[in-house]
Chains A and B, each alone.
Chain A
């Protein structure tokens, strides 16, 4: 759970000493919280519990769930090869993101820097794909990846090189995940770059200045001063990137439907397939619970780690 950041006593509402005042305050609290709590309990919390219940049944969604199977669904999922492929793909997307996408975003943020003329233009352009919907992104990249070089721009582009043949990017089990990842990077790098730019902005210039005056060269300055000071931003971006990778759905579903032969299956497409295509709702619920547990575990680990003292906390 998230630690509630302390609010200084001075900011807290002074409770009136009189009973009418207290009653009024309590009424305000109750009425103000009520809409949020009702919506949240009904559509976020209650579904978690109902899916725990249904995950214990073999249920096709018609009539009440009666065929109780205990933990059978959970066991079957773990022994399903396709689930393991989805899990592996999720991990691969996480690794690619951490090794390629985030360093690329950081590099661009540093290149744009704080005072480059045209800084705002670059930020606006790089962030634009993030605002476009996933449907639009997916269809655009579906076109770009068309295996026919007269229709798919990427193939037309690489065939300019001598000896390179057109590829069925989304039809080749070895290439498909990488192809999807490129589209993901196109869409999301701008968001991470934005975070890094904000982080860089918050570093007082005096610190880097001092480093330079003490004789640190640009590389030393970056790796020993800027990077450590960015650590809390980097952690946030890693956290969001991992959670985003685990639940990747629309882009993959539209571009490949998880294929060919499950080569680009993700946990979310796997769940969608069982829940909404095959209507094995009990089994699908169990997949949802696994995904929820993965997100929860990761969040808890993340919060445990971020309780470590961090460089920026003193600033």
Chain B
């Protein structure tokens, strides 16, 4: 028998012809890419070329700015990349570990004041780091964590807890109870169940949380800006901002630096898009 109506759902295709749909979307693609393309064009020109023909294609491409940034020690691109990497890795490890422990307790165990503790963590969602930065600075100063990467690490970790505990709690709660029953019948303790059964099953959720945390930590400027004065400790975003301040008049050089500092994020995005997207949507729905 023939199917009488199309299975296709409402998607604007009925009254906006397909080509118009593609036209609008392509226009937005262009708008998204323009700032990036201009930046890359600028990065591949000499200072003189940038002055005379700012928007022309960089033909032939000049790699002097790029190689200069990568080789001159006075620009300290590599040390800053290293600092960012250290902070990001420790923060991500800490967030995944600490959040999955707490989320397990909230999802799978019963105790007095559970709701009270849980509400405490939801409070964190209403107190974002941009609002908290000044009070946090006082505390770091009392603890002598100013001008130390550890200061950045603990603050970034603490402010990632609330959201990620919510995400992981949702995933943990969705794992069937039968597994837990079976584990207990076989003599597992709560810790065994968590470590040997729940965590391996929750790997997609854990990698989503990890990918999201990596992006947030890597991109963060505010905490390093407030905590790190010594330029040997600067992270890449802080260094990028300072570089722009110092060499702001040489637009092609700054373009090269900014483009280089955007590169790791974009490469990471290419590989981890699925994890980032699933983490964000889970977070938005649960948070």
CA distance A134 to B159 in the complex (A): 18
Partner of A140, one of B5, B35, B111, B194: B35
Nearest-CB distance from B224 to chain A (Å)? 10
Chain A residues whose CB sits within 8 angstroms of the CB of B276 once the complex forms: 131
Query: Does A81 make an interface contact (CB < 8 A)?
Result: no
Take A128-B32, A254-B241 as given contacts and tell me if A40 and B131 are in contact as well, using a CB distance cutoff of 8 Å. no
Within A281-296, which residues are at the interface with B (CB < 8 Å)? 281, 284-285, 287-288, 291-292, 295-296
- The answer to whether the Cβ of B232 comes within 8 Å of any Cβ in the partner chain is no
Among B31, B55, B118, the residue within 8 A (CB) of A186 is B31
Contact between A131 and B265, CB atoms less than 8 A apart? yes
Question: A139 CB to closest chain B CB, in angstroms?
Answer: 5
**What is the size, in residues, of chain A's interface with B at 8 Å between Cβ atoms?**
109
Q: A143 touches which one: B39, B135, B281 (CB < 8 A)?
A: B39
Is A212 at the interface (CB under 8 A from chain B)?
Answer: yes
Q: Is the interface of B mostly helix, strand, loop or mixed?
A: helix
Give every chain B residue within 8 A of A299 (Cβ-Cβ): 125-126
Q: Is A72 an interface residue (CB 8 A)?
A: no
CB nearest neighbor in A for B261 = A136
A36 touches B251 (CB 8 A): no
Q: Does B197 contact A (CB under 8 A)?
A: no
Contact B122 A126 (CB under 8 A): no
Q: How far is the CA of A250 from the CA of B130 in the complex (A)?
A: 9
Partner of A111, one of B21, B119, B268: B21
Measured in the bound complex, the distance between the Cα atoms of B138 and A288 in whole Å is 13
Question: A134 — which chain B residues lie within 8 A by C-beta?
Answer: 219, 221, 237
Residues on A with C-beta less than 8 A from B277 are 123, 127, 194
The A contact surface, by secondary structure, is helix
- Determine if A50 and B12 form an interchain contact, defined as CB atoms under 8 angstroms apart: no
A25, B55: Cα distance in complex, Å:
66
Q: Give the distance in Å from the alpha carbon of A268 to the alpha carbon of B137 in the complex.
A: 15
- CB contact between B180 and one of A13, A129, A131, A236 (< 8 Å): that residue: A13
Residues from chain A with a CB closer than 8 A to the CB of B221 are 133-135, 250
Q: Mark A90-132, 1 if CB is under 8 A from B, else 0.
A: 0000000000000000001011111110100011111111011
* Distance (whole angstroms) from the CB of B205 to the closest CB of chain A: 16
A43-B159, A44-B124, A218-B15 given; A32·B102 CB < 8 A? yes
- A residues engaging B (CB < 8 A)? 1-2, 4, 7-8, 10-15, 24-26, 28-29, 32-33, 35-37, 39-40, 42-48, 50-51, 54, 108, 110-116, 118, 122-129, 131-137, 139-144, 150-151, 153, 156, 186, 190-191, 194-195, 198, 205, 208-209, 212-213, 217-219, 221-222, 226, 236-237, 240, 243, 246-250, 254, 268, 271-272, 275-276, 281, 284-285, 287-288, 291-292, 295-296, 299
Can you show 11 pairs from A to B with CB atoms below 8 A apart?
A40-B124, A51-B138, A122-B25, A131-B219, A133-B265, A156-B54, A156-B55, A190-B32, A236-B285, A272-B134, A288-B135
Ranked nearest first, the 10 interchain pairs of A and B with the lowest CB-CB distance are A113-B11, A47-B135, A133-B219, A51-B135, A43-B158, A247-B130, A36-B102, A275-B134, A2-B122, A32-B101
